[in-house]
């Protein structure tokens, strides 16, 4: 198991060397969200993570309500990665499709059926694969058990599971996010991540 954090623009300017020295081994960075919205610190963060010698991954916070919208989010993810020169081999922790609804946006705009949510995950991952990037799914434990039909996804699919508990109950989870608060170098991060394995 190795320790990591997830990071977005909301975490501000970060001292990545100090974060590595503290004991963090990897960071998963928000690349963007919704219809082509780039996280305003993504380029700064991805360069800082790699320069500090940390393992890197990225995630995209989805506002998609249809499979085609999920594919569009994947195409935007791949476009940004290629634009900043991040080839698949530089993403040791891969790319992740964030399928939660933490801010209630999907609920307010017409929550897709479970079948559509599952197809959206499949569409995003297939599009990323066509672009040359491997990807997995991020969601909380409840969504991964009750909303996303994992039997309809490839058995090679990787999962990043958020579950505030003493252990992760999702069999074979590649990454377990076990708290929503982690103080690193005096900065509080939303996620404390343990990676058991990845690609």
Q: What is the DSSP string of 105-157?
A: HHHHH-PPPHHHHHHHHHHHHHHHHHTT--EEEEEEHHIIIIIS-GGGS-TT-
The overall pTM is greater than 0.95: no
Q: Of the candidates 169, 83, 72, 85, which has an alpha carbon nearest to the alpha carbon of residue 124?
A: 72
**Residue 171 C-beta-side C-alpha neighbours within 13 Å:** 4
CB of 72 closer than 8 Å to CB of 35: yes
User: What pLDDT is stored for residue 190 in this prediction?
Assistant: 66
Compute the distance between CA of residue 199 and CA of residue 197 in angstroms, rounded to an integer.
7
Compute the distance between CA of residue 81 and CA of residue 43 in angstroms, rounded to an integer.
9
Widest Cα–Cα separation across the chain:
44
Compute the distance between CA of residue 105 and CA of residue 63 in angstroms, rounded to an integer.
7
Question: Residue 21 contacts by C-beta under 8 Å, 6 or more apart in sequence?
Answer: none
pLDDT tens-digit profile, the chain (199 residues): 789 999 999 989 999 999 999 999 999 999 999 999 999 999 999 999 999 999 999 999 999 999 999 999 999 999 999 999 999 999 999 999 999 888 898 999 999 999 999 999 999 999 999 999 999 999 999 999 999 999 999 877 899 999 998 899 999 899 999 887 767 777 777 667 677 665 4
Compute the distance between CA of residue 165 and CA of residue 46 in angstroms, rounded to an integer.
30
Compute the distance between CA of residue 123 and CA of residue 152 in angstroms, rounded to an integer.
12
């Amino acid at each position: 198991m190795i320790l990591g954090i997830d990071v977005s623009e909301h975490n501000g300017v970060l001292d990545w060397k100090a974060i590595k020295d503290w004991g963090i081994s990897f960071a998963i960075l928000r690349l963007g969200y919704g219809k082509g919205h780039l996280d305003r610190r993504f380029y700064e963060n991805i360069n800082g993570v790699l320069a500090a010698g940390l393992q890197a991954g990225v995630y995209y916070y989805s506002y998609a309500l249809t499979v085609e919208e999920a594919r569009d989010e994947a195409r935007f993810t791949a476009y940004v990665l290629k634009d900043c020169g991040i080839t698949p081999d530089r993403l040791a922790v891969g790319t992740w499709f964030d399928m939660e609804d933490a801010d209630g946006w999907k609920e307010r705009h017409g929550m897709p059926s479970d079948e559509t949510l599952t197809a959206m995950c499949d569409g995003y991952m297939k599009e990323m694969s066509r672009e040359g990037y491997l990807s997995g799914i991020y969601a909380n434990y409840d969504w991964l058990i009750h909303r996303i039909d994992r039997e309809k996804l490839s058995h090679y699919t990787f999962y990043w599971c958020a579950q505030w508990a003493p252990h992760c109950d999702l069999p074979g989870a590649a990454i377990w996010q076990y708290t929503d608060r982690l103080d690193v170098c005096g900065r509080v991060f939303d996620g404390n991540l343990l990676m058991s394995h990845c690609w």
